[in-house]
Amino acid sequence: MHSQSSPLGEFDLIERFFKTGGGSNSTLSLGIGDDCALIKPLAGEEIAITSDMLVEGRHFFAGADPEQLGRKALAVNLSDLAAMGAKPLGFTLAIALPKVDAQWLEGFSRGLFAVANHFDCPLIGGDTTAGPLTISITAMGSIPHGEAIRRSGAKVGDDVWVSGTVGDARLALAALRHEITLPESDLKTIEHRMHQPTPRIELGMQLRGIANAALDISDGLLGDLKHILKQSHVDAEILLDLLPKSETLGRQNQEVQNQFAASGGDDYELCFTAPSSQRDAILNIGKALNLSITRIGQITPMINSASEVRLIGPDGKILDNPQTVTLLKSFDHFSI
């Protein structure tokens, strides 16, 4: 591929790797190749829109496997759609590439379209340019009018739930950074949690009418939960021992377990609140999807002027402030 006499130009590049794939759906009236894509929403549906940007060396290692990267780039956006209860409609891709590398592009587009096809979410437009490797995806989904699950809907008395397990992606990162030594078999088990997060699209759609508030966990469970609390003007009590951990993370010492599960980030699980009357419904959804869904605490009235998470330790007592602050520390793309 590299030996061809003339380099691939921008238009060839788009045609060759990005023109087709990702399926199509009835809502899409016009895909790639015009100034804009066109979507024709169904009557009574709202469009949910989310944008994420991944930068080499910041969100992924230089030299990262392009197929995994393609998967993850789309998956993290679909995870935002899942958090609102939206059904994927399509996405745009803007990508800056240091050079035209056919092998890299093949791998990247293979990963990208594997996820796109799985969720029936076609690529509908975008932009390619030269520049430091940067991937920006905007994903769109549809939701029946008024049924989107917002961050602002949590009510006092709601249970707080989290899907799957949390902290695994952070554990994989720690191992890859040699902060922690893991047996090879453990690393293998959890590495895919970091590289190939699963957007909880089905769960999000089934939580319409059941959950009062939801978000996806990208920066760390407790830090992200605070966004729900802040927008809903409530507090929460969370039982630290209930945070759902994989067996692999469960083999680490207690401090690492707590820290990674509470604030590790990159989990892409859903955290949501729902009335206690919905407990059975939620557990049944989990069974049907073969996905663990764990109740970790409760929404409580706001005590002080700002929303707070109170963490309850194994002894039933509230953790002191310094411990809480550490466990709440959200991943911030500017501060680390």
Instruction: Work out whether 156 is an interface residue with a copy of itself (CB under 8 A).
Output: no
CB of 95 to a copy of itself, least distance (A): 7
Q: Binders of a copy of itself among 282-311, rule CB under 8 A? A: none
Q: By C-alpha distance, which of 327, 295, 333 is closest to 308?
A: 327
**Segment lying near a copy of itself (by CB under 8 A), choices 55-63, 253-261, 285-293, 313-321:** 55-63
232 binds a copy of itself (CB under 8 A): no
Compute CA 281 distance to the chain's CA centroid, rounded to the nearest angstrom: 23
Is 39 one of the binding residues for a copy of itself (CB under 8 A)? yes
Is the distance from CB of 246 to CB of 168 less than 8 angstroms? yes
Residue numbers 245-274 binding a copy of itself by CB under 8 A:
none
Report, in Å, the least distance between residue 192 CB and a copy of itself.
Answer: 23
Segment interacting with a copy of itself, rule: CB under 8 A, options 7-15, 158-166, 277-285, 287-295: 7-15
- What angle in degrees, to the nearest 10, is found between the helix axes of 254-263 and 168-176? 110
- Answer yes or no whether residue 165 interacts with a copy of itself by CB under 8 A: no
CB of 145 to a copy of itself, least distance (A): 6
Return the range that interacts with a copy of itself (CB under 8 A); candidates 25-33, 239-247, 275-283, 309-317.
25-33
User: Distance from first CA to last CA of the chain, Å, rounded?
Assistant: 39
Binding flags for a copy of itself, 198-227, as an x/- string (CB under 8 A): ----------------xxx-----------
Q: Interface residues for a copy of itself in 122-141 (CB under 8 A)? A: 124-132, 134, 136, 138, 140-141
Nearest to 119 by CA among 216, 195, 199: 199
| 148, 234, 262, 296: residue in contact with a copy of itself (rule CB under 8 A) | 148
Q: Which tokens is 300 given?
A: 């409580």
Using alpha carbons, select from 225, 183, 211, 235 the residue that is nearest to residue 286.
211
Which residues fall within 8 angstroms of residue 290, CB to CB, at 6 or more apart? none
Q: Residue 161 and residue 139: Cα distance in Å, rounded?
A: 25
Could you give the angle at the alpha carbon of 193 between the alpha carbons of 14 and 252, nearest 5°? 155
List, as one string, the DSSP characters of 211-224. -SEEEE-SS-HHHH
Q: Is 46:143 a contact under the CB 8 Å cutoff?
A: yes
Q: Which of 50, 109, 212, 259 binds a copy of itself (CB under 8 A)?
A: 50
Binding to a copy of itself by CB under 8 A, coded x per residue (else -) over 58-87, reads: xx--------------------xx-xx-x-
Say how far residue 220 (Cα) sits from the centre of its chain: 11
Q: How many chain residues touch a copy of itself (CB under 8 A)?
A: 71
Q: Out of 11, 178, 185, 304, which residue is the one contacting a copy of itself (CB under 8 A)?
A: 11
Kindly state whether residue 177 participates in binding a copy of itself, applying the rule CB under 8 A.
Answer: no
CA distance 33 to 15: 9
DSSP letter for each residue of 81-100: HHHHTPEEEEEEEEEEESS-
For the CB of residue 176, give the shortest distance to a copy of itself in the complex, in Å: 20
**Region near a copy of itself per CB under 8 A, out of 143-151, 183-191, 243-251, 309-317:** 143-151
